[in-house]
Amino acid sequence: MLKMKTVGWCLVLVVASIAVVAAHMAVQKTLPEADAVLAESPHHIQIWFTQSPDPAISRLSLEGANGEVALGDTKVQDDRSLMAMLPSKLDAGSYTVRWRTAGDDGHTQRGDFAFTVRAAD
């Protein structure tokens, strides 16, 4: 009997742990796609999530070989995405997008992805 109760409590803890992990938001897709090699500069950066991002703490930044690249304001879109416009064309090179936001559970999450703009032929 004691063994059944112990197994039951372990099962409850495992299910509760899965529910907590599942509650965190996740990235669904990015624009540009992670590790993409682009023939021309993108017009904007956008990341879609499984939950609506919290506008109070959401931020996108872009870094290239020469340091940080200015972006327009980070905006939360109705389709559960963060978006920021690029005010000018990017030069050929490698870039890293860094993001910060929180979802329904309020936990701040961070991540990044890279892409490359190819030199014009």
Residue range 46-84, pLDDT digits in tens: 999 999 999 999 999 999 999 999 999 999 999 999 999
Helix (H, G, I), strand (E, B) or coil at 65: coil
Contacts (Cβ under 8 Å, ≥6 apart) of 36:
115, 116
- In this prediction, residues 12-32 reach a mean pLDDT of 68
pLDDT at residue number 24: 82
Q: Domain limits of the chain?
A: 26-117
pLDDT at residue number 5: 60
Query: What are 12's two structure tokens?
Result: 């409850």
Which pLDDT tens digit goes with each residue over 85-102? 999 999 999 999 999 999
The domain 26-117 having CATH identifier 3.90.950.20: the answer here is no
Let me know if 2 is exposed, middle or buried by CB neighbors in 10 A (0-12, 13-18, 19+).
exposed
